[in-house]
Structures are given as structure tokens and as C-alpha cells.
Structure 1
Amino acid sequence: MVGVLVVALLALAPALALPTARAAVSYVVVVDLSHGQGVKGLDVFLRTLYDAEVYLIVPSKEFYDALSPQVKALATGYYVGNLAKFRDLATGREYTLTGIYTDLLVIPQLTKPIAADEVDAVISYLKTRGAGLWVAGDSDYGAGEDVIKLVNDFMIAIGANIVLDYLSVADPVSNCAADYRVVAWVRPPKELEFLAYGAEKILMHGPGVVAF
């Protein structure tokens, strides 16, 4: 009976509506997966957000269906679209970033550019909600240069005062058998200390540099 109940709850999770007011959780996170981002390690990331509601923006239902059972179980729900607008397939209702309550928008490493209407949507979200934005990038190793350009184009478009530099970091002391496998401590300011939960010490593989 318990197993049946758990399955039923998981089946209902994708149909949950995005919060339009403060939810009874610590924080709400929206993760964009509509720009060619990889999903390797996504389940690990979601586990660190154990007391959050997490919603995924995916490019299609087929994309969502291909996600691992672990990711589906850890995410509160998913929506199809992009950063400009996204839809709940169960209800047909359409949302925008400014029409929902979220504390943090996460944009993992891009492989496709963010369109102009999406840039406008993110700017409006930041001005309206005053919430957080987490954009992942890369160092200049391998295909990293392409990622850096995509990220920097977006950061400049939203008026940010930080970009990624075309460099990579090596540490001859704090590493795992090679200087490019940097072991780093996550020590955010108090207001962002939740970012370090479950990830106080991390392994970074050829990390990049943020330029101000």
C-alpha cells in the first residue's frame, strides 16, 4: 500500500502548479534545461536542495521523459518551453518568470544561445522579483571557449558587471593528483550559505575565472 501511495505521489508531481506566492518551503528554485544543457550530475545537485521546491524548464516532454528516475523523483515538477514562457502540459497554463515566485533561477552550462525575448524575461524577473540568478560557465579548456562566449553574451545583455575570462585555474597544492583537479572550499556569505549545504568541499575540474 505504501509503495502504491509513493508511486501515485510521484506521478502527480509534474502536474503541480508553479508557486505564484510564497510556498511553505525554505526556497523555490527554477532550473533551465532548455538551452542544450547536459543533465549529468543533475540528481546530485538536486539532492543538495533537499528543503526546496525545484521546477525544471525543459524543451519538450520527450526531453523530460528521458531524464533519470532519480531526477524526476527529486524535482517538484517540470514545464515545457524556454525562459520567455513555459507551459504546464497537465493544465495547459502558461507561465513567465515574473508570474511565479522563485528565490533562485539556475541556468546550467549553455550550449545554445539565449534569445532576445528570453533575455528580456530574465531582466524583468530580476527587476520584479529581486531574486537570485546562478549562471554556470566553463574554463577555456576544449570547447569551453564556446561556452564562455554564450555565457558572456548573456551576461552583457542583462547588464551584469561580471563575465567569464578565457583562462583556467590550476592549484599545485590543493588538488586531486593533478593541478587542474582543484579541490575548493565553498564558503558563501551568510545570506547564501544554503549553497554550501552538502557541498562544503568540492572537486573542480579545470575551473574557470570570473572577471569583474
Structure 2
Amino acid sequence: MSESPAFPVVDGVPPGRALLADRIRELIAASVCVADDAGLAAAAGRIEAVTTALRAAGGSPPLLLAALEGGGHLSINNPLEGPGNPLAPPLSWVHIGPAEVRAEVLLGPAHEGPPGRVHGGWVAAVLDHVLGRATAAAGFPGMTASLTVDYHRGTPYAVPLTVVGRLDHRDGRKLHATATLRAGDEICATAKALLVHFSADRFPVPVSTSD
């Protein structure tokens, strides 16, 4: 059996990568809220030129990790928590511990589903990611086998949201976890999930690398 490749790990989030992702997030928010078609074709041409330049410098795999102070690693290009991925809101980890993890997130107009509210798919994705982080922080990294989300009320965007996740109990490789998403004191959504624990030999060992 061949040895699995190691995860690349860098010291902190590369500032240029994070800055580029921030600017692209701003671009996405501006594009969905633009009032009319004036100048959009010209803007598309400028964006195409930048895209061509970035694609020419591509070729690296997207997986890139940075160590977290609370333990574990931040996936820099992850679509939920990654500060280097323009698709990510991103999630900001407030606390990571074996009993509970807590994150904050600010979703915007690009995440709108119903008027003034976050699309339910994004709510589910945020909860799913926090559930996965919770089981990993408890020492049992796993992948989601089933996810049930209860939507208690519409989730507002442009409002700070807090998400808390925890591993409730383990039955062999089966991990049972729950999470709650709040806007202020109001519960917007809750989730419960069944995850399947992966044995340690299924996860490559992180190794340091230069950016």
C-alpha cells in the first residue's frame, strides 16, 4: 500500500492570497447589486484579463493548511472557512475545543435566497462544516453521512451570525453531532448529523512548506 501524500502546511495565511480573495468577494457583492447594465461589458473584459493572468500562474492543488492557535489546521482554500477562497464567507473560528467549537460568519447579498434572507443551502453548508470541525476537534475527524437541518426562522444576511457545534456521542465509527446557528439571541437553524470517523491512516500527515 503506497503512502498517502502529506498535506502542505504554511506559517499563517499568505497575505496576497487573502487580499485577492477579499477583493473578489467585494467584486461578487458589487456585481449582484449593480443597478443597470452600463459599463458591465467593459468590466467583464477587465476581469477576463485578470483571470487569464491568474490562470497562467496556476497549477498548484487547492489544498493548503495553516496551523490554528486552538489546535488543528485552517484550510486556507476551503469553500466555507478559507480566507483564500472567494467562495468562502469565510467562517472565523472563535473557539475550538474538544467539547465545543464556535464560529462567527457574516453572509452577504450574494448569499440571498428569499428576499432579505440567506439561501437555505448556505445555512446548511455552514452548519455542516461546523459539525465536521466539532468531531475533528473532539479527536474523531469524519465525513458527513446524513445531515438534518431544521429552519426555525429566516436567517438574515449582513448580520453577524454565531454557529456552535459539538460531538454528542460516538458509537464505534458513527459520530453523532449537533449544531446551532444564531443571529444575536435568536436561533435561526439547528442541525444534527451522522458522520463516519476515518481512521488515522486515511489522513495524510501535515508537513511544513514554504509559501
Which of the two has greater strand per residue?
Answer: 2
TM-score where L is the length of structure 1: 0.26
Higher helix share: 1
Larger radius of gyration: 2
Q: Which has the higher contact order (CA 8 A, sep 6+)?
A: 2
